[in-house]
Amino acid sequence: MCDFCTKHGEGKKWYLQVKNYADELLYEELSSTQRDIVKVTTRVEYLDNLFENFVMPAISSVSKEQITSHGAPTSTEPSDVLPSEETTVASRQIEHFGQILPIEDAEKVIDIASSITRMACGCRFANAGKKDERYHFGLMVDRRGTLEKFPDAAASLEVLDKEETKKTFRKYDEEGMIHMIWTAVTPYVMCLCNCDRDCSNYRNYIQKRGTPRFFRAEYICKVDWNFCKGCRSCMSRCQFGAKTYSSALGKVYIDPTRCFGCGVCRAVCENDAITIIPRHEDTEAANIWLQDTTK
Ligand code: SF4
Ligand code: SF4
Ligand code: SF4
């Protein structure tokens, strides 16, 4: 189990705990440690700021410079002395941090969330100028009155029912989008995302080997060589470089130390050779949650 499950999940997956979606968390006064990091006193204020600085620019298509990088600390004071990576990750884990989850768990989250709002994707707008990519799903947005606070944006925000959302997520899974869940002052759950290589967090953390922004999933995938025909269709699906092809064997292998457990490679395997297992069942992968950015 990742650190969040231990601290906020009572031994279960943190994002499947109903208490982490509750209004009590949304409106409670933050601790002094949390306030020092996020510079506001409640999660509602934090979410309003995030909405204004991240979602609104994507909706109104303002310049790229006006949009903040999703996942970057939004409230850290400028400083002459750069904090260590360890300090930055610790702050991010308090403020806004993510975890990859497979489609099965994304569907369980959809079942828990009391409202789901589909909206424009800030990362794809900021990084690729794509204005109508609607892969970002805010949780409880309408319940906290956000739509009333930003009436100009309301027309661009679609409140979806659970079945519609699941159907959309299934489609994205088949297209190879990785699913991620994010906090707004941990452990409050704020959104579910469907990301590709245009995601700011993916680019900064994985592509540029920067400071971690999300945990790996509570799972990894395995290839059963009894079924693998070596077609290699699954290889390009992996955004984490976890797959290698052995020409000697004519099979694909998933390196458990590199697999992030997103599970999206399964959808392209016509031979059902790829299965997902709990991370803790693999001794090599069991305790790997973050990318080793020094390698
Ligand atoms: S995290 Fe993913 S879905 Fe959410 S805004 Fe970024 S790229 Fe879009
Ligand atoms: S898609 Fe399936 S059969 Fe093809 S290489 Fe991957 S695991 Fe093997
Ligand atoms: S090998 Fe692992 S990280 Fe790569 S696509 Fe499959 S589940 Fe995701």
- 289, part of any domain: no
Taking 50 as the threshold, does the pLDDT of residue 66 lie above it?
no
Closest residue by CA, ligand 3 atom 2 = 259
Tokens 């990859």 belong to which residue?
A: 100
Span from the CA of 294 to the centroid of ligand 1 (angstroms): 25
Q: Residue 39 sits in which domain range? A: 3-215
Q: Does the Cβ of 185 fall within 6 Å of ligand 3?
A: no
Written as one letter, the residue type at 115 is: S
The answer on 125 and 8 residing in a single domain is yes
Entry pTM: 0.92
Q: Where are the alpha helices (DSSP H) in the chain?
A: 3-8, 23-27, 32-38, 43-50, 56-60, 85-95, 103-112, 122-128, 146-149, 151-154, 162-175, 200-201
Taking 80 as the threshold, does the pLDDT of residue 68 lie above it?
no
Q: How many CB atoms lie within 10 A of CB 60?
A: 13
**For the chain, what is the radius of gyration of the CA atoms?**
19
Taking 90 as the threshold, does the pLDDT of residue 95 lie above it?
yes
What value does the mean pLDDT take over residues 267-293? 93
- 293, part of any domain: no
Round to whole Å and give the CA distance between 26 and 39: 15
- 63, part of any domain: yes
Taking 80 as the threshold, does the pLDDT of residue 49 lie above it?
yes
Q: pLDDT value at position 76?
A: 43
Rounded mean pLDDT of the chain?
A: 89
The answer on 193 and 226 residing in a single domain is no
